[in-house]
Chain A
């Protein structure tokens, strides 16, 4: 189980997270929605220990990452997570199979002689084959995302964090990625937090949807309840209306 309570994070004078409280049960997929810049990715990076919150606690399996000081212990905490980066973050200088199996050397005791076969299996799991020896630059956006997904699951983590998995993809590829996330949940039984503002994907993959606004969780409920919400902020966001209580800047000098 992942539990976050009172998580706050500022960058200089900008308060991004202002007390995030959220729980993710084992086997559950929690989708966090919210406008651009509302702190979704920041929260995800706090969960995996890439950013240290200013206050609050974040526990995974009862271990609070905010209390860990030593790099080795934080690295040990991270072992239970797989992370899918927004742009994939594949290593340009390595081939696809080396990318997929990169973490195995550090996270597992699997002998290197098996890496190539494992890469093949994981790539097959995300619907890719015969690309093991290619370089990331030779792949399309959707393929890169799938390779990144294969890399995130290669060490068979207990938790997977997805940072905008469908952003920048065409609608069909977005749906394919959503299907993959569902399939991985079924096959691997992983617990997941997905950050997205793609509502179609959110409804498809979520067990629960949490709406983040101005650094706080406004509402967390199953997709059916979110669809019928009376909260005007959540309503405006899920319906994609420009008019409503959430006012986003059109120009830098607009007053919000």
Chain B
């Protein structure tokens, strides 16, 4: 009676361990190829455009509204407790730059670009295009994975900075139009307290997020089997795993940065 669920749990854990090992080998292989072959810059730029241009409007919009909601909520609470909205710019900018900007950008990119990458590589796998790469003198890691990893590493920080700006600007709009705070006061609140290290706190996280999304989506894509159904499964699991990875890695990176005093 008990043995079947236990067996299933055991086999799931073994599968998870196997996947983690294979993903680690993918990382190792990509590092090895990075040092012993030319970087495919054309592919990298193409991927940067796909990830960046495609995700830009959604990232900016979601961050703009997040900043607006943040200002509205903080303003309402501040009014209720302190009778007037205080330090709205400081709270919005800290929240956006340190936490929400990087996380929102990473979640949008993993949902949009990550899914596209898993689906593209998955389709290439089931139609033998990845095998064809081997027969034509290259390697899927060199030609497909490295350009995507580099593209994520370059584009995600840029999108995060734009998301930070959009969020703080959204907060400013609400502060001025809904809470009646003069814009000069809002921007003073932002720049009087925000330091470079807070900005770097957010930025450092984006590199960890970029690596997680890129490797998870490439790994899931390259491990696709079973035709169209397999591509669908890979795409879904790539998005789910990369979103969970972003949120969990966020905690651990934050803990390290706090311990290092970058906060």
| Min distance, Cβ B129 to any Cβ of chain A, angstroms | 5
Asked if A75 and B127 sit within 8 Å, CB to CB, the answer is no
Asked if A91 and B132 sit within 8 Å, CB to CB, the answer is yes
Query: Which single member of A45, A86, A103, A152 contacts B137 (CB below 8 Å)?
Result: A103
B122-145 Cβ-contact flags toward A at 8 Å (1 or 0)? 011001110110111111000000
A146-183 Cβ-contact flags toward B at 8 Å (1 or 0)? 00000110010000000000000000000000000000
Closest to A51 in B: B131
A81 within 8 A of partner (CB): yes
A87 within 8 A of partner (CB): yes
| Min distance, Cβ B163 to any Cβ of chain A, angstroms | 29
Asked if B135 and A106 sit within 8 Å, CB to CB, the answer is no
Q: How many residues of A contact B (CB 8 A)?
A: 27
Query: Which single member of B129, B135, B137 contacts A91 (CB below 8 Å)?
Result: B129
Q: How far is A151 from B131 in the complex, measured between Cα atoms in Å?
A: 14
Residues of A within 8 A of B138 (CB): 75, 106
A87-B127, A89-B127 known; A78-B132 Cβ under 8 A: no
Closest to B36 in A: A72
Asked if B135 and A82 sit within 8 Å, CB to CB, the answer is yes
Residues of A within 8 A of B127 (CB): 87, 89
Q: Tell me the total A-B contact number using a CB cutoff of 8 A.
A: 54
A37-57 Cβ-contact flags toward B at 8 Å (1 or 0)? 000000001001110000000
B91-128 Cβ-contact flags toward A at 8 Å (1 or 0)? 00000000000000000000000000000000110011
Asked if A50 and B136 sit within 8 Å, CB to CB, the answer is no
A50-B134, A78-B134 known; A71-B129 Cβ under 8 A: no
Q: How many residues of B contact A (CB 8 A)?
A: 15
Residues of A within 8 A of B29 (CB): 71
Asked if B128 and A71 sit within 8 Å, CB to CB, the answer is no
Asked if B137 and A89 sit within 8 Å, CB to CB, the answer is no
Asked if A89 and B139 sit within 8 Å, CB to CB, the answer is no
Q: How far is A78 from B135 in the complex, measured between Cα atoms in Å?
A: 6
Enumerate A70-95 residues with CB–CB distance to B below 8 Å: 71-72, 75, 78-79, 81-83, 85-87, 89-92
Asked if A48 and B136 sit within 8 Å, CB to CB, the answer is no
Residues of A within 8 A of B135 (CB): 48, 50, 78, 81-83, 103, 152
Can you pick out 13 interface pairs between chain A and chain B where the beta carbons lie within 8 Å of each other? Answer: A72-B36, A75-B138, A78-B134, A79-B137, A85-B128, A85-B131, A87-B128, A89-B128, A91-B132, A92-B123, A102-B136, A103-B135, A106-B136
Known: A91-B124, A91-B129, A152-B135; 16 extra A-B contacts, CB below 8 A, are A48-B135, A49-B134, A50-B134, A50-B135, A71-B29, A75-B138, A75-B139, A78-B135, A78-B137, A82-B135, A89-B132, A90-B132, A92-B123, A103-B135, A103-B137, A107-B136
- A residues neighboring B (CB under 8 Å): 45, 48-50, 71-72, 75, 78-79, 81-83, 85-87, 89-92, 102-103, 105-107, 151-152, 155
